[in-house]
Amino acid sequence: MIAKVSNGVWIGQEPDYDSPINRGSHCCKGAAVRDDVLSQRRLRYPVKLVDGQWTRISWQTAISEIGDKLLDIRERSGPDSVYWLGSAKFTNEAAYLNRKLAAFWGTNNSDHQARICHSTTVTGVANTWGYGAMTNSYNDIRNSKTILVMGGNPAEAHPVSLQHILEGKELNRANMIVVDPRMTRTAAHATEYVRVRPGTHIPTIYGMLWHIFQNGWEDSEFLAQRVHGVDEIREEAKKWPPKEVERVTGLPEAQVKHIAELFAKQKPATLIWAMGQTQFTTGTANVRASCLLLLATGNVGQPGAGANIFRGHTNVQGATDLGLDVTSLPLYYGLSDEAWRHWCRVWDVDYEWMTSRFPSKTLMETPGIPSTRWFDATLLPKDQIDQPSPVQAMFIMGHGVNTITRMPEAIRGIEKLELLVVCDPYPTAWSVLSKRKNGIYLLPTCTSFEMEGSRTASNRSLQWGEKIVDPVFESKNDYDIMYMLAVKFGFADLMFKNIKVETGSVSAEDILREINRGGWSTGYCGQSPERLKAHMKNQAKFDLVTMRAPKDDPEVGGDYYGLPWPCWGTPEFKHPGTPILYNTNLPVKEGGGTFRARFGVERIVKRKVLENGQEVEREDHDNLLAEGSYSAGSEIKDGYPEFTLGVLKKLGWDKDLTPHELQAILRVSPTRPDSVSWATDLSGGIQRVAIEHGCSPYGNAKARMMAWNLPDPIPVHREPIYTPRPDLVADYPTLPDAKQFRVPNIGFSVQRAVVDRGISMQFPLILSSGRLVEYEGGGEETRSNKWLAELKQHMFVEINTVDAAERGIKDGGWVWVTGPESGSRAKMKALVTERVGKGVAWMPYHFAGWFEGADLRAKYPSGSDPIVLGESVNALTTYGYDPATGMQEPKATLCQIKAA
Amino acid sequence: MSRMKFLCDAERCIDCNACVTACKNENEVPWGINRRRVVTINDGKPGERSVSMACMHCTDPPCAAVCPVQCIYPTEDGVVLHNKDLCIGCGYCFYACPFGAPQYPQVGNFGTRGKMDKCTYCAGGGGTEEPGSAAEYAKYGSNRFAEGKLPLCAEMCSTKSLLAGDGDIIAQLYGERVRTRGYGSGAWGWETAYHEDTKP
Amino acid sequence: MFVLVRNSLVIFALLVLGVGEAPSLAQKLGTDGAPNPDASVVNQRTLLEQAPRIEGRIDIPDVKASVLIQPAGRTWDYFHEVLLHWGGAIMLLGTLAMLIVAYLVVGPLRISAGRSGQKIIRFIAFERFSHWLTATSFVVLALTGLNITFGKILLLPIVGPETFSEISQIAKYLHNFVSFAFMTGVALIAVIFFRHNLPQRVDLEWIRQGGGFIKSKHAPAGRFNPGEKMVYWLSVAAGLFISASGLVLLFPFYGTTIADMQIAHVVHAVIAMLFVALILAHIYIGTIGMEGAFEAMGTGKVDLNWAREHHDRWLAESLEDERHSAATPAE
């Protein structure tokens, strides 16, 4: 997008035809972004709630009062009592800074929208083959022969991707299969649409695998060379003959067989998904099941194939990468002692000092509370929460409250907090939902158009965004706000040691350079600000399909657009980025790769086998490294572990390290230099040498169909907590109650109560939720945009014509929707349609500002109320958390609807 | 001579409304005036298709024919423009328009119509204002055409469904698409607008 | 095979409990064997054969925006620019021509007996008010209406586009607001003259004698002769239709669709042309066509001899009433 600016005012938008990703195209949100900046509904100055009135204060007063209160809470209850909720709308640099701020504050309670978005993808996919991100790219879908969309509606959620999908479909005469409970705008363009019951992804996949294994359609060579655990999956798939699949999913045998055959035989085939797989208590298992299908058919690591996992928001991929996650420091280093030491080295701070910021080393290395549970962590009795004290303050930067399930509980949570701070361009629903009269601060934060920084697209490409105009009104950018806080907390000098700050203005470029210096594990090390800016300047040179620039270009020669991570080594190493992960057809130096050796080199399993007619237990040493598969040009023609100095020495390649690199490695670990790895070597030397020899720095292993460290090592179907099929719960119950992420997860008890109390009789409709193309996330910004707000002026529920007729509900008429928890109810308009099948209701999740039928417009700071308000679907959604990530379950719950 | 047209490829349109907000953004079109809109046929049923629609800049524009003050006229490029200074807000063009393009701001109580507003093909106005001037922008919106640019709705279309430009060229483009993919439900509205059918 | 898939789907739909009705769309192949997502799409021509308009769903709260294509607009254009122009012109010019012929051939109808000098009240003030309210508003509406139909042909070339637009703008507002006066007038006329316009036995005699068109004789008539009654009933009927269609046009899309608006406009235009023709005749007979007629609405009083010749029965009744009221003075 190119902005026209006159006298500091943004007067027009021009399409950026040269962008290889969108070629100038937008959806309605993109085409309307100018009003995000110009909107008169923006919060103009800092305000605080005083006896129920919004009162204007200065930034100084705000930071001083907030800081004092936070420090007071920290003093009394420990740093974990403050929750730092960040944003997918951050730039990479702001996301990183926010995680760093939480670390300096002394807590792992730092999260963002990815929790409710793709946390299950990250966990599930990374545990399968190394990295939890989209393996290929939007552009690469142009190479696909079969496009299977399961659990995604890209036409409305990722409209620009459709130009690649539809054009690819047309050019290749490709199959485009959409499996979804709703006949979506995406399904309208499918060559085949399959209506499925929400929450039955795993049976559908096993149903397909049953046919694939039955007919020998699997890719045996791929499985033998690059996949571990296929035997376990064969066994599990046997439990899903067509009859059982039909009983659980409702899909007839012929249709399942047909799509399985297309996917396995008409290759390359890609599987696209988004929230339709992730937002379930089985989210992690769902995405793992998808990976199984891809692996079984050999559809990973080549153009036109892969797991094309569509990420939302401007920068949810980057914010995830940069560690706005309760389980990890930036770039998936985790929270181990080693991870903390690595980042302390990058930050140039003393590890002991960092430890002193935390109540204990244990808490420092324990995952925090997921954003889905913040109010449980506020409301539950102290003894049920595994940290010194419940959450008492929320510091929110760009995150809606209405995107998280169980809003009636969240409102009670807001009321119990001591302090609520919301940094956002808009007041958001946080400011109006509760009965609080005091203790809320709203800090006007500018949009990303009013600041510079990089963002990571879904395909792992980074793009540098220029500042278009100065922050409007009194708003400030994320960097400067965090700097002010750091000054208040007294650690600004330490935190910004290597980041330039001029008269309170923080250098985004310096933050990116710091990320480069520490981002080895994910290949965030090569994307310097200079290289990214060169890419933006030379956009026209990148190919539409391969996204590569011609090799002879002086500035960006041979690079893939946006240097998609992993972009190995230092910026000077000039790695071109990796457009397709695990692609063995290319040398690593040219963007190729192997499956990551992340889980050791072998797995010891005890198996029962028949020997001479007798069953004996045998100890197997399963080789986890690839066998006979390697990336092009590799000097090791087989699998290999991840590279360390020790490994280099064994291979005799350590001689290739420069003295400077060797010194840096010794500085990392003077005592055990051999243990310094490709991910902790701050010089990039180990990566460089491995790649010069054609090898992946992270090793060459098998993908894991069997992920023994997960709650369900192989995907197992489990009914949603609020299942419409209580008859299936006996066979497919959810996992037992347990404590996860410092809080209890009592899903099993809730599910049993749902069955025992006949909830599905009282609430006979399945309630699912999703996106509208006009709005984004909680919708505060987009519902305040006059061009977007006009297009969808009312909250609504989609209800099937038959269900509507039974209830006397007319299209466009008002209805009351009731939910099974907290006596929840919401008033909205009915959209009577065949988009949803009988028995299914669907709502968009972008609305807020109404609660239980009451319009809360008067409670917004005057003039800052969004143009369109409405009930939130999450006022009706219910309990249910993925045990591996804390993901909520808004895609499958129950409700009842009656005419109002 | 080139003759400007719009073509919406229904096999590509996904109802994303980018064309709608691009139009609003480029021309500062006020709330309630919808120069462009997307209509979905057979919503939620097999055969569902969405089509983006605005003024098609018809051949023999019926709006121009029925206008009692003759304020609407086709330019040399086939763009149908109108002069707001002459418009009396009678509403006839809306009755005659096959595509529901003319819009009227409400200026009094009940349905009293103000001066008609419609898609200008981002080619400014049909009045006496200087092309590209601030006065023209305030009254009609932007004049991209004068800068050699096409309407922003088509330029920003997410899937390149909405095509704008010389009628022969976009018809050829569409024809090539249909030949490549082997299907296409025809250029919606072409027969009505231009007395010609662009079919698969 | 695909038929099979779909059949089993239908059966499945019947079997499966409330979860997911099954109209899953099995893959359809094009003639070349590649998948064709268009197979179930109905093309526009077929849609237009099924209905005159293609309509769909749109989320903005503007119901008329849901009509995607309405080729009827072109039909309406044809009506408006061809049929209405020619039809209206023929109708109006024809009427004028006939009246001129009537004037030249028949000439004005004189009072045969000459003026008596004595007057009798024919229309009281309120009746005259009602008539003139209707009459003046009708003239305004007719002229402004004709302007919007024929102005661009007749007036625009003379005064130029700017002036013509200004005139037309004023004309539009006049037409919109004066319409309320007209509707009031028509309603009043309909009520106050209702009784005297009911058919009577004497009307048959008047018709048999050829009404007022045979100069030598004067046919018998009550307060209104059948000719006047015809004008009354036609005006009331036309007034009703033109008001109803006018109100629809005045409040566009208040519960109406584009088709309703087009029909309303056609009705309004056709009735208007007929109405103007009728009123032209009415004006002729009320002014230059008949000596002594204008006074009835002008001053309210008519010459006794005029009354005797044209409304003998009414005169007799009126004189009777007068005598009666004189004989029984009010107490």
What does the DSSP assignment read for C195-264?
Answer: GGGS--HHHHHHHHTTGGG-TT------SS-HHHHHHHHHHHHHHHHHHHHHHHHHSTTSS--HHHHHHH
Provide ipTM, 2 decimals: 0.96
Mutate to test the interface with B, among A13, A14, A18, A26 (most CBs of B within 10 A): A26
Domains in chain C and their CATH numbers? 77-106+118-327 (1.20.950.20)
From chain B, the residues in CB contact with C152 under 8 A are 67-70
In a structure prediction context, what are the per-residue pLDDT tens digits for chain C, which is 331 residues long?
344 444 444 333 333 333 333 334 445 565 556 666 776 777 888 888 888 899 999 999 888 999 999 999 999 999 999 999 999 999 999 999 999 999 998 888 888 888 888 888 899 999 999 999 999 999 999 999 999 999 999 999 999 999 999 999 999 999 999 999 999 999 999 999 998 899 888 888 888 877 766 656 677 888 888 888 999 999 999 999 999 999 999 988 888 999 999 999 999 999 999 999 999 999 998 888 888 888 888 898 998 888 888 888 888 888 888 777 765 554 4
Helix axes C226-250, C258-286, angle to 10 degrees: 150
| B21 → closest Cβ in A12, A31, A155 | A31
Q: Where are the alpha helices (DSSP H) in A273-420?
A: 275-278, 283-296, 316-321, 337-347, 351-357, 361-364, 374-379, 407-416
Query: What residue in C sits closest to B49 (Cα-Cα)?
Result: C41
pLDDT at residue A865, rounded to an integer:
96
Nearest neighbour of A155 by CB, restricted to B14, B20, B180: B14
* 3-state SS assignment for residue C276: helix
- Per-residue pLDDT at B186 exceeds 50: yes
* B106 band by pLDDT with thresholds 50, 70 and 90: confident
Residue of C nearest to B45 (CA): C23
Residues of chain C numbered 7-66 and touching chain A (CB < 8 Å): 8-9, 12, 16-28, 34-37, 59-61
Any idea what DSSP says for residue A811?
A: T
Q: Do B159 and A786 touch (CB under 8 A)?
A: no
A531 reaches C (C-beta below 8 A):
no
Give the separation between CA A232 and CA A603, rounded to whole angstroms: 14
Instruction: Give contacts of B16 with chain A, Cβ < 8 Å.
Output: 27-28, 155-156, 159, 162, 773
Query: Taking residues B162-167, what's their average pLDDT?
Result: 95
CB spacing of B155 vs A786 below 8 angstroms: no
Closest-CA residue of chain A to C61: A793
CA distance A826 to chain C (A): 21
Provide, as residue numbers in chain B, all residues whose Cβ is less than 8 Å from the Cβ of A30.
18, 156
CA triplet C106, C109, C110: central angle to 5 degrees?
135
Tell me what pLDDT residue C31 has. 58
With a cut of 50, which residues of chain A have pLDDT below it?
Answer: none
Nearest chain B Cα distance for residue A160, angstroms:
5
For the whole model, what pTM was predicted?
0.92
Distance from CA of A1 to the nearest CA of C (A): 27
**Residue of B22, B26, B31 lying closest to A786 (CB–CB):** B31
Q: Are B37 and C58 in contact (CB under 8 A)?
A: yes
Pure H helices in A629-746: 645-651, 659-668, 685-692
Angstrom distance (rounded) from CA C238 to CA C185: 13
CA angle A330, A331, A336 (to 5 degrees): 70
C18 → closest Cβ in A190, A195, A838: A838
Asked whether the beta carbons of residue B44 and residue A24 sit closer than 8 angstroms, the reply is no
**Are residues A515 and A524 in contact, defined by beta-carbon separation less than 8 angstroms?**
yes
* Cα C251 to Cα A449: distance, rounded to the nearest angstrom: 44
CB of A258 within 8 Å of a chain C CB? The answer is yes
Contact A252 C36 (CB under 8 A): no
| pLDDT confidence of residue A869 | 97
From B18, B49, B182, residue closest to A31, measured CB to CB: B18
- Contact in structure between A883 and A740 (CB atoms under 8 Å): yes
Most distant CA atoms of chain A, gap in Å: 88
Interchain proximity A171–B180, CB inside 8 Å: yes
Contact B181 A173 (CB under 8 A): yes
Partner B contacted by A834 (CB < 8 A):
yes
Q: Are A163 and B159 in contact (CB < 8 Å)? A: yes
Q: Is B106 on the interface with C (CB under 8 A)?
A: no
Residues of B in contact with A167 (CB under 8 A): 159-160
Please indicate whether, in this complex, the C-beta atoms of B96 and C41 are within 8 angstroms of each other: no
Which of A40, A9, A2, C66 is CA-nearest to residue B152? A2
Q: Where are the beta strands (DSSP E) in B9-152?
A: 37-41, 49-53, 72-74, 80-82
Nearest to A850 by CA among A830, A862, A868, A823: A868
Strand-strand pairing, A505-506 and A501-502: antiparallel
Is B111 within 8 Å of C250 when comparing Cβ atoms? Answer: yes
Interchain contact, B39 vs C73, CB within 8 Å: no
Give contacts of A15 with chain B, Cβ < 8 Å: 152, 155-156
User: Is B107 touching C (CB cutoff 8 A)?
Assistant: no
Q: Point out the residue among B12, B43, B182 whose CB comes nearest to the CB of A166.
A: B12
The pLDDT, as a whole number, for residue A287 is: 97
Q: Report the distance separating Cα B33 and Cα A233, nearest Å.
A: 57
Partnered with residue B164 across adjacent β-strands are B6
Q: Which of C39, C77, C176 sits opposite B96 (nearest CB)?
A: C77
Task: Check A833 against B43: CB less than 8 A apart.
Answer: yes
Nearest CA in chain C to A193: C25
Residues in chain B closer than 8 A to C254 (CB atoms): 110-111
Structure tokens at C110: 């004189």
- Contact partners of C by the rule of 3+ C-beta pairs under 8 A? A, B
**Which residue of B lies nearest to C150 if distances are taken between CA atoms?**
B68
Which residues of chain B are within 8 Å of residue C38 when distances are taken between CB atoms? 11, 183-185
- The span from the CA of B61 to the CA of B73, in Å, is 8
Measure the CA dihedral A313/A316/A318/A323, to 10°: 160
Q: Quickly tell me which residue has 């121009």 as its tokens.
A: B64
The answer to whether the bond into A268 is cis (omega within 30° of 0) is: yes
Got the DSSP string for C278-323? HHHHHHHHHTTTBTTTHHHHHTSEEEHHHHHHH-HHHHHHHHHHHH
Are C43 and B185 contacting, i.e. CB atoms less than 8 angstroms apart? yes
CA distance B131 to A467: 31
β-pairing, A306-309 with A269-273? parallel
- Torsion sign across C-alpha atoms C173, C178, C180, C183: negative
User: Taking CB atoms and an 8 Å limit, are C76 and B192 in contact across chains?
Assistant: no
Question: Alpha-carbon torsion A657, A658, A659, A660, what sign?
Answer: negative
Residue of B nearest to A787 (CA): B21
Q: What per-residue confidence (pLDDT) applies to C21?
A: 35
> From the list A12, A159, A833, which residue is nearest B158 (CB)?
A159
| Interface touch C42/B47, C-beta < 8 Å | yes
Convert the pLDDT of each residue in B49-95 to its tens digit. Answer: 999 999 999 999 999 999 999 999 999 999 999 999 999 999 999 99
Closest to C131 (Cα-Cα) out of C73, C57, C189: C189
Q: Residue A736 is encoded by which pair of tokens?
A: 């037992």
- For the beta carbon of residue B69, count every other beta carbon within 10 angstroms: 26
